Structure 1
């Protein structure tokens, strides 16, 4: 959870800056002065972790309520446009299956929101990958009815679990792809698995996407490739993930969640830790 929040807050510092400026600052390892607030990525992950702690599994009605309550308490966390509508409707008492099912002319959202928050779930159920996949699916459905969003959530949760289990970076992408249902997310993951982990992230982003479309399809494969390339070095992973731009808070949140389950925040600079918005006090009591 702390790694996800760190990645989210770090990634958010690059928004609203010209692409050339971002690339130059990343290349020069120049970080923005704090504070670094986190976004909806962390807010929704916190709700998911709270439900896991209370129920031991994804209790979908409780999760929908937790998402809506967190949104109502603080709606200014950079939620996506469709998510504003979803969470307001749930907060007003509408059933979540009806709300999510009508999004995008009945197709449901295939955005990256279900994937960005799910890494802690992978660590939670680390001893049972079947359960990781099933619970990730259930967690995605509460806000995202499209199967590509589900595939993205399953991929990230499995990647986080395998990271905690100690898998080697060069094995991660292929192992994750075996758990992902037939989908464009799965297809791009297999493509990512054929790209050398030493490749320039900008070239990889050109092949896979890096969140420009804010979809699971163009976010998750790239983020998992970045995690695999730096599976034991969270700081370097975040720098690499940010380099091409895109939906940087989300790609970095995913990468942070996958890697920190393995490394903790070891190696993260002290000034980053002090700049990052702290998590709520209740996290420490879990």
Structure 2
């Protein structure tokens, strides 16, 4: 099954944001601030990380099955990890992926993490924007499928809420193609309205109340920008950033970068959402040349 154009666009944007953001971890953030303010990109090559690796698995899985089949998806995530464990997976995901690849049941593995609490990391959210764009015509299906995908690696309600939030945001962005972009507050409130009670939802509602002119740094301080690697301190900021730049993928990436924090993941989330609306039309050719290639099947439709 061929992926819908917005889903492929979202995947391409996610990979671009991921690879772009990952280049800014060295040198230190305080030394890079002037370059970021002047919008001077880092030289290539820009290698993508686990954000993109898992998004590729997820989108290919949807192409084969038309929806999330959790047992198969968990095995496919583990196989991709085993083939390329260098993609900067988080410590807990090393444990999960190795156990699943060794034959353990993903349910028992994910629920046992962190003393039986499960992981509320941002890994389920970072990869899911293309899924939201895929099912954009049916927001109930977006939420359901995003939740299914999240639980294969993250057995925690905040991780699931983060994944649903990103998927809904990407779906709304895809649905707005060809029309005026919604306002930032309106967009964030609509996303929050599809979530269960959670810290992620509270963060989105806080973000929606920020006055016009709120700086990226202020938003990052209040919402968090992924330094804790959790869904609740990553997703609200990334979606606030995306919601303020729905008409420009480069602007969304630059603005999100200015929050620092977990830059590959926040930029991947924001870019995956915005690209579901814009595609790659306004991305400088030099950026795409610097970014590591994706498989041929992931190319946007002409």
Normalised TM-score (structure 2) = 0.93
8 Å CA contact 2:12–2:298 kept in 1: the answer is no
Distance in 2, matches of 1:47 and 1:240, equals 28
Distance in 1, matches of 2:294 and 2:211, equals 35
The aligned runs of 1:81-96 (5 Å cut-off) are: 81-96=91-106
RMSD: 1.2
Number of matched residues? Answer: 286
Distance in 2, matches of 1:39 and 1:285, equals 20
Which residues of structure 1 form unaligned runs of 5+?
none
Which shows bigger deviation, 245-254 or 169-178? 169-178
8 Å CA contact 1:14–1:248 kept in 2: the answer is yes
Distance in 1, matches of 2:211 and 2:129, equals 24
Change (3 A) 1:235 1:284: closer
Normalised TM-score (structure 1) = 0.98
Find the counterpart in structure 2 of residue 233 from structure 1: 248
The aligned runs of 1:238-253 (5 Å cut-off) are: 238-253=253-268
Which shows bigger deviation, 195-204 or 138-147? 195-204
Find the counterpart in structure 1 of residue 122 from structure 2: 112
Find the counterpart in structure 1 of residue 192 from structure 2: 177
Aligned partner of 2:230 among 215, 231, 243: 215
Distance in 2, matches of 1:121 and 1:197, equals 30
**Does the alignment pair 1:259 with 2:269?**
no
8 Å CA contact 1:198–1:229 kept in 2: the answer is no
The aligned runs of 1:1-286 (5 Å cut-off) are: 1-166=11-176, 168-170=182-184, 171-284=186-299
8 Å CA contact 1:8–1:41 kept in 2: the answer is yes
8 Å CA contact 1:169–1:230 kept in 2: the answer is no
Moved over 4 A (4+): none
Which residues of structure 2 form unaligned runs of 5+?
1-10
The 3-state SS of whatever aligns with 1:103 is: helix
Distance in 2, matches of 1:123 and 1:198, equals 29
Distance in 2, matches of 1:215 and 1:263, equals 28
8 Å CA contact 1:242–1:248 kept in 2: the answer is yes
Deviations 1:178-226 (Å, cap 9, x if unpaired)? 0011001111110000013532100100100000000000000000000
Distance in 2, matches of 1:101 and 1:151, equals 16
- Following superposition, the deviation at residue 285 of structure 1 comes to 9.3
Distance in 1, matches of 2:300 and 2:139, equals 26
- Following superposition, the deviation at residue 280 of structure 1 comes to 1.1
